[in-house]
Structure 1
């Protein structure tokens, strides 16, 4: 037996014992936060939005490409099934943008079919260089989603953020939206995001964070904790690059100790177990993949030592 096999077996025994003990002592609590899970979904990992103390399931849903299906009736029906599985698995936050083609319209179509408008957490964006167009985009999003107000409005990729944050702050003060935020991706413009976080009152930021892309750990995540800002993690799988990296590779044996049955759950649990990450937003058009993703909300979560060993395992692949 090689070194990594021995270590995996040792860790599996250690974390299985710890998880079993925790399940007897705290059956209705998240192993990560120690906070009660919603009664409708015992054991569901939720995070607290710092600015409101509202609970948020730690896995949401992205809609880039996957919900941009236009008027295709077959593709739309598939989106209805995907969203139904998302809700069934305990999800709430749905992230979109005017940049994503027909995605907002398709989300609204699905919500109407499922009659679940009250359950979801709507999160979309302003994506335009013009302030006046930003206001119109907010109204367009409300119409397309079929809701009276969008819960979270974000400035997409910091585009004209000064003008749009001014607009969003006004709309929030008027009660037309509940939360405001800014987004980036691919590790871009982190210094600028940091300055905005220091200078403005934000409820959310959105950035890229996954088991490979961890630049945000150095400054942005600690600052979010300090300022009381919730963090949405996009690109949890680097699109498909992480799956290509582990293609044909078996999960580490220790993954069973945190309830991982596939690589998607392994990658997601690494993200949502970080104490400063509020929600990860994987996107998929496959029903089985959505069910796999949502299963990562339950079961034991890796602690800091386990996370370090997950990083080591990925480096060894």
Structure 2
């Protein structure tokens, strides 16, 4: 294992704005230093950085760019990643990724997190048979007898869809269940279901410039023992636009940060309520860079505020 001094020197050599695959000088340190968090309902530990399949991943899947996504998923697992977040509504992502995972022989290394919602975004009623059909399509896509996690997407018709997930969990066809939303108008409803249902997970939007979850949702998740998947940790493209033309501050190297992506991700996963952040990408260099945030040190409360204030000053 190389010393921390040598590791930081290597990070400086790589440069804050570049992304290179890890080499033999620090591979052993990375392997032993993977940051994980427990799922409160079971104690099972997950790496704090996952992989999402919306946005560019979905675009690549829809364009049938299988080779690119195969490289992404292979690099993701090689770098220590596990949580793959997808949904039937993400175009071809679920089907394409399921096929790739099987072809690569990494099914046992991927924590498969998908979603259920046939109610749509307008608050309509879900058809039970359609919902069951969507669930079975997800099982077919992943081709495993047990799916790790299914969540009701955007709180779609919970009275209809949540009981289906409860039954699947009771039958041990899924290991965990939960709900998601990235819509502020649904936050109050999210709080209500967190208080009244035995959820294993929630999935919500959270970023260094979007900290609403810290006020009520995160404290409630800690109190209720619910794992949190942090979605859109880059604010979709918002944060990239904000930092364009700016260098990562030198003091961030204290945490082993060598890119803006790692800066944003380390902030997100340093909150004690967050189990895993799931940035989406279709590029190998990005997935390797993102996974770099799962190693080294995480910011403490004082450093978190310094990081947030720095972003606010840009």
TM-score normalised by structure 1 residue count: 0.85
- 1:85-164 equivalent positions in 2, closer than 5 A: 85-129=75-119, 130-164=127-161
**Alignment partner of 1:254 out of 251, 256, 259:** 251
- C-alpha distance in 2, partners of 1:100/1:50? 28
- 2-structure distance, mates of 1:263, 1:103: 26
2:272 aligns to what SS in structure 1? coil
Q: Which of 77, 81, 93 is matched with 2:67 structurally?
A: 77
Distance in 2 of aligned mates of 1:96 and 1:158: 16
Identify the residue that residue 34 of structure 1 maps to in structure 2: none
CA offset digits 1:250-301 (Å, max 9, x no partner)? 1112100001111000000000011110000000111111110001100111
Where do 5+ consecutive residues of structure 2 fail to align?
9-28, 120-126
Contact 1:85–1:290 under 8 Å retained in 2: yes
Unaligned runs of 5+ in 1: 1-15, 21-38
Q: CA deviation at 1:134?
A: 1.5
SS in 2 for 1:118: helix
The question of whether the paired residues in 2 share the 8 Å contact of 1:68 and 1:106 is answered with no
Q: How many residues align?
A: 282
How far is 1:131 from its partner? 2.2
User: CA offset at residue 112 of structure 1?
Assistant: 1.6
Whether the 8 Å CA contact 1:86–1:294 is kept in 2: the answer is yes
Provide the C-alpha distance between the structure 2 equivalents of 1:181 and 1:41, rounded to a whole number of angstroms. 30
Cα displacement (A) at 1:41? 2.8
1:60 to 50, 53, 59: 50
Alpha-carbon offset, residue 232 of structure 1: 0.4
Are residue 279 (structure 1) and residue 276 (structure 2) matched? yes
* TM-score, with structure 2 as normaliser: 0.86
1:203 partnered with 2:193: no
Residues 102 and 285 of structure 1: CA distance in aligned 2, closer, same or farther (over 3 Å): same
- Please say if residues 52 and 279 of structure 2, whose CA atoms lie closer than 8 Å, have aligned partners that are also in contact: yes
Q: What is residue 291 of structure 1 aligned with on the other side? A: 288
Please state whether the residue corresponding to 2:135 is helix, strand or coil.
Answer: helix
- Give SS of 2:89's match: helix
The one of the two structures with greater contact order (alpha-carbon pairs below 8 A, sep at least 6) is 2
Secondary structure of the structure 1 residue equivalent to 2:203: strand
8 Å CA contact 1:187, 1:215 repeated in 2: no
Conserved 8 A contact 1:269-1:302: yes
Question: SS of 1:99's equivalent?
Answer: coil
Alpha-carbon distance, 1:119 to partner: 0.8
2-structure distance, mates of 1:44, 1:120: 16
Partner of 1:238: 235
Question: Could you list the per-position Cα deviations for residues 177-200 of structure 1 after superposition, in whole angstroms to 9, with x for gaps in the alignment?
Answer: 110000001434110000000010
Change (3 A) 1:116 1:194: same
Residue aligning to 1:49: 39
RMSD across aligned positions (CA): 1.9
